[in-house]
Structure 1
Amino acid sequence: MDHEREEIELELLVIRCQRGERAAFDELIRGWERRLFVYIRKLVSDEEEAWQLLQEIWLQVLRGITSLRQPRFFPVWVYQVARNTVMSHYRREYSRAVSLQADVPVRGDDFDGFDDAESVHAGLSRLAMPDREVLTLYFLNDLSIAETAEVLGIPPGTVKSRLYRAKRALRDVLGPEGGCHG
């Protein structure tokens, strides 16, 4: 019943935002900023870039929230906005890198001294973007298979196979000491 109540409250909050209530939009940001930032940080390695992208996302949400026809779909919609913003960022970066013929830096993470949660988060940063993205949406953001499929624009069956592959990849990255079971 609590989950249902939260969904109704969010839907009403989105409707208030669509009507132009500034306080409602501030409340929406307070309730979603951390979730979106965590999602973005899983996709972007630089914290400052992540904050800049989050600001871009909120501007797009502010401009586009009135076009959201069904307010109950706000979570899927806002993650789509975030994903599209991050992907556009990567396309811009890639274009710059290609035009400058720059090498893409390779990150290496040292897992020594991390506890389990930190190891998992560090391990996520070492996964390919599709694996990192599906794990982040499904497990860290608690989206359903169907919602994850909608955000990513792929069929639910593909989400399931990506989840399976991504969990295995994460286990491989973490190794036997990584604390990832299941």
Structure 2
Amino acid sequence: MTRETERIRHELLAIRCRRGEPAALAELVRTWEQRLFFYVRRMLADEEEAWGVLQEVWVAVLSRIDRLREPRCLPQWLYTIARNTLMTHLRGRYAERERAAPDAPEPADEDDPLARYADAERVYAGLARLPLVDREVLTLCFLEDLSIAEIAEVLAIPPGTVKSRLFKARRALRAVLEGEG
């Protein structure tokens, strides 16, 4: 399926969802759950925690779908909601850690136990060792296949900043992977 065909399909799905069609809402979840989970999971070390955040994402999406102004921007809109929900969750988690043990060091992210292939496992483990900002931009670009403009919209930053973050993140990931090798 071409990128344009997929964009039209997403737009029609968004329009149907805005109209409140139950079948369209079910299709939205079925179509996007795996992608959004993958994005959230790359940002969190714990799978159960990622599923919890994804539930919050779906609550937000389903309660706000009627406010989606530009149906053609469905992917960016979904990733923006996922990112905002994730950031709210992380802020709460960090604040809780500060209250519980302000001087305790943060635990290191664990390797992804679901990776099936050696190279993918190495890349996922390398991603887990990168700062969140680097992980996020690499995940959106290479694993979610968003364009620079779409990533800029999701992250609410200029496209030039996306490019510089991608450049920095690629170098950081390469350094991590070469350090393991």
Q: Contact conserved, 2:110 with 2:128, CA < 8 A, in 1?
A: no
Aligned-residue RMSD, C-alpha: 1.9
1:60 aligns with 2:87: no
Instruction: Tell me the alpha carbon deviations over residues 149-172 of structure 1, each in whole angstroms, 9 at most, x when there is no partner.
Output: 111111111111111110010011
Partners in 1 of 2:134 and 2:177 — Cα distance? 14
Alignment coverage as a number of residue pairs: 176
The one-letter code sitting in structure 1 at the alignment partner of 2:72 is R
Q: Which runs of 4+ in 1 moved over 3 A?
A: 107-110
Structure 1 gaps, min length 5? none
The one-letter code sitting in structure 2 at the alignment partner of 1:131 is D
1:116 aligns with 2:154: no
Deviation at 1:3, TM superposition (A): 2.1
Partners in 2 of 1:85 and 1:109 — Cα distance? 23
Deviation at 1:144, TM superposition (A): 0.6
Q: Contact conserved, 2:11 with 2:71, CA < 8 A, in 1?
A: yes
Q: Structure 1 residues 28 and 162, CA, compared in 2 at 3 Å: closer, same or farther?
A: same
Corresponding residue of 1:106:
108
Deviation at 1:97, TM superposition (A): 1.3
Corresponding residue of 2:38:
38
Report SS of the residue matched to 1:175: helix
Partners in 1 of 2:51 and 2:101 — Cα distance? 27
2:148 corresponds to which of 141, 145, 150: 145
Report SS of the residue matched to 1:124: helix
TM-score (ref. length: structure 2): 0.91
Corresponding residue of 2:14:
14
The one-letter code sitting in structure 1 at the alignment partner of 2:70 is Q
